[in-house]
């Protein structure tokens, strides 16, 4: 994988990726194959690792557990009425059942006959028959991803189980491990998603989309949003674009202002595809007449932001907490003369996903709870950060160079999927 972006003039455009975006029916096949592989090959080890003998996931229509979207096969991506999935660890693997009227084909065997018994009566009977020692349920005081069981459903579950409810234990760690860990097949596909995100940005930050003195930042961000829709991917947050020029402070930026020559542009773009999210921030410079490069001060600011990425990567080690990674990276960056800020988040099934939080923009001293979670292999992150720098060509005005790049932690090193931005996009 390249560690730099090609100059914008060689960008083939986001439409060149259109043929790589699968039709819906083919997407379903790929997604479901991945899901079956995860259920059969990954889930047993995760249940062993977390000491859960049976995992019960309960969700209701329009009040979803955050985990349910990653467990149901397409096209059944949401709970219907009340959907109960039951995972029972056995010597030969994990038995997968649905306490639900219809079941879900080969993924989950339906075991409830509504005419014969109530839904929770069925669940309690099955649990009594299987007799697990530890029954994991999705409750947590720390992670939203492990806290999908609502109070009402918890009450019904406890009442139905009676004395067996004493075996209920939080499945928080199992939820996070399931959500954060990417399979081999997913990791092989992920770089293309990030490449497409880069391509959208490169095209948006070009003269194809931007005419200095005419185009507004609103125009560019709406172009990005429409491009994602046209390509057949689903944005998980509205793409944003902002500008900063000589004499403007970052905080005073007005998003609807016209883009002028000499402006620095910044964007934040991400989408969902095949059950995985992207999240990328990059920067551009609008050339003045006669210029062929951005001012050296802006180029140096990007170098500082890349250095901060390197310090971040060096601090990542298996078994370290997000807070430990944050501290080491910031300490080394400050010692090198940078003005750093780190706010990296896991990336995967969700945009702001399950796993260790590595700083928040307003919590640079560490994040209690979510920042105490450990780093594991085969997990992905949006390496999100900024480095501030005074720009001599702008009368020493301070500029915040913000970057966000999607990366895979292999267990040994951090791999920037589809590379990272080492050159500013140039808008002629």
Cis-peptide, bond into residue 75, ω within 30° of zero: yes
79 pLDDT above the threshold of 90 = no
Asked if 83 and 100 count as a contact pair (C-beta separation under 8 A), the reply is yes
Question: What letters, b where the CB count within 10 A reaches 16 and e where it falls short, cover 337-372?
Answer: ebbbbbbbbbbbbbbbbbbbbbbbeeeeebbeebbe
| Tokens 């592989």 found at | 37
Q: Checking phi first, is residue 278 left (phi over 0); if not, alpha (psi -120 to 50) or beta? A: beta
Residue 335: beta bridge partners? none
8-state DSSP, 89? E
Beta-sheet pairing, 264-269 with 82-90: unpaired
pLDDT of 2 > 80? The answer is no
- Nearest CA to 67 among 75, 107, 59? 59
pLDDT at 3: 41
pLDDT band, very low/low/confident/very high, at 35 (cuts 50, 70, 90): very high
* 3-class secondary structure, 125: helix
Query: What confidence tier does 5 reach under pLDDT thresholds 50, 70, 90?
Result: very low
Helix axes 43-50, 172-180, angle to 10 degrees: 150
Mean pLDDT of 116-135: 97
Mean pLDDT of 292-299: 98
The phi, psi pair for 57, rounded to 5°, reads -115, 120
pLDDT digits (tens, 9 = 90+) for 304-322: 999 999 999 999 999 999 9
Integer CA distances (angstroms), 334 to 157, 310, 345, 396, 414, in order: 51, 13, 21, 20, 21
pLDDT tens string 275-285 = 999 999 999 99
Helix H or strand E encompassing 402: strand 397-409
Structure tokens, 126: 């099955």
By three-state DSSP, how is residue 48 classified? helix
Query: Does the pLDDT of residue 294 top 60, yes or no?
Result: yes
Q: Per the structure block, which two tokens stand in for 235?
A: 């944005």
Least reliable range by pLDDT among 12-21, 44-53, 167-176: 12-21
How confident is residue 78, by pLDDT bands cut at 50, 70 and 90?
confident
Tokens of 54: 């049976």
Six-digit token string for 15: 């439409």
Q: Bridge-partner residues for 426, per DSSP?
A: 285
- Residues 356-374: tens digit of each pLDDT: 999 999 999 999 999 999 9
Phi and psi torsions of 282, nearest 5°: -140, 175
pLDDT digits (tens, 9 = 90+) for 36-68: 999 999 999 999 999 999 999 999 999 999 999
Q: What is the mean pLDDT of the chain?
A: 94
pLDDT tens-digit series, residues 241-274: 999 999 887 666 565 589 999 999 999 999 999 9
The alpha carbon of residue 195 and the mean position of all alpha carbons in its chain are separated, in whole angstroms, by 15
Domains of the chain (ranges plus CATH)?
8-23+183-427 (3.90.230.10), 53-170 (3.40.350)
pLDDT at 261: 96
> How far lies 52's CA from each of 118, 133, 160, 231, in Å?
26, 8, 20, 41
For 68-104, b/e burial (b = at least 16 CB within 10 A) is bbbbbbbebeebeebbbbbbbbeeeebebbbbbeebb
Q: How far is 82 from 242, CA to CA, in rounded Å?
A: 43
Residue 426 has pLDDT above 90, yes or no: yes
Reduce the secondary structure of 170-237 to three states and give it as a string.
ECHHHHHHHHHECCHHHHHHHHHHHHHHHHHHHHHCCCCCCCCCCCEHHHHHHHHHHHHHHHCCEECC
Confidence of residue 102 (pLDDT cuts 50, 70, 90): confident
Structural element, H or E, at residue 388: strand 379-391
Residue 411 DSSP SS3: coil
Kind plus residue range of the DSSP H or E element containing 330: helix 322-335
Contact between 376 and 180 (Cβ < 8 Å)? yes
Closest by CA to 367, choosing from 403, 404, 342, is 342
pLDDT of residue 10: 45
């Amino acid at each position: 994988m390249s560690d730099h972006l090609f100059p914008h003039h060689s960008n083939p455009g986001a439409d060149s990726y259109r043929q790589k975006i699968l039709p819906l029916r083919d997407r379903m096949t790929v997604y479901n194959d991945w899901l079956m592989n995860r259920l059969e090959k990954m889930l047993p080890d995760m249940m062993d690792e977390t000491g859960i003998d049976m995992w019960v996931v309960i969700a209701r229509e329009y009040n979803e557990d955050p985990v349910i979207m990653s467990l149901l096969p397409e096209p059944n991506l949401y709970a219907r009425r009340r959907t109960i999935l039951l995972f029972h660890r056995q010597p030969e693997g994990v038995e997968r059942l649905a306490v639900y009227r219809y079941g879900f084909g080969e993924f989950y065997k339906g075991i409830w006959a509504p005419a014969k018994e109530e839904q929770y009566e069925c669940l309690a009977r099955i649990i009594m028959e299987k007799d697990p020692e530890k029954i994991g349920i999705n409750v947590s005081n720390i992670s939203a991803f492990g806290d999908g069981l609502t109070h009402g459903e918890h009450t019904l579950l406890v009442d139905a189980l009676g004395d067996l409810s004493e075996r209920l234990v939080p499945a928080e760690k199992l939820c996070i491990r399931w959500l954060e860990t990417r399979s081999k097949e997913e990791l092989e596909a992920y770089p293309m998603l990030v490449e497409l995100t880069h391509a959208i940005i490169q095209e948006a930050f070009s003269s194809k989309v931007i005419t200095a003195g005419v185009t507004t930042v609103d125009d560019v961000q709406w172009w990005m949003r429409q491009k994602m829709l046209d390509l057949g991917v689903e944005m998980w947050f509205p793409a944003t674009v902002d500008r900063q020029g000589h004499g403007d402070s970052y905080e005073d930026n007005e998003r609807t202002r016209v883009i002028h020559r000499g402006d620095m542009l910044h964007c934040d773009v991400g989408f969902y595809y095949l059950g995985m999210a992207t999240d990328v921030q990059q920067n551009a410079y609008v050339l003045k007449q006669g210029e062929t490069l951005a001012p050296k001060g802006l180029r140096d600011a990007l170098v500082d932001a890349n250095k901060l990425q390197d310090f971040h990567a060096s601090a990542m080690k298996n078994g370290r907490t997000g807070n430990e990674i944050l501290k080491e990276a910031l300490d080394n960056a400050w010692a090198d003369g940078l003005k750093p800020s780190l706010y990296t988040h896991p990336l995967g099934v969700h945009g702001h996903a399950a796993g260790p939080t590595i700083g928040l923009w307003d919590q640079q001293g560490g994040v209690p709870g979510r920042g105490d979670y450990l780093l594991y292999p085969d997990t992905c992150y949006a390496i999100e950060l900024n480095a501030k720098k005074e720009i001599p060509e702008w009368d020493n005005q301070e500029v915040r160079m913000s970057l966000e790049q999607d990366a895979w932690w292999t267990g040994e090193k951090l791999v920037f999927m589809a590379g990272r931005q080492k050159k500013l996009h140039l808008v002629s």
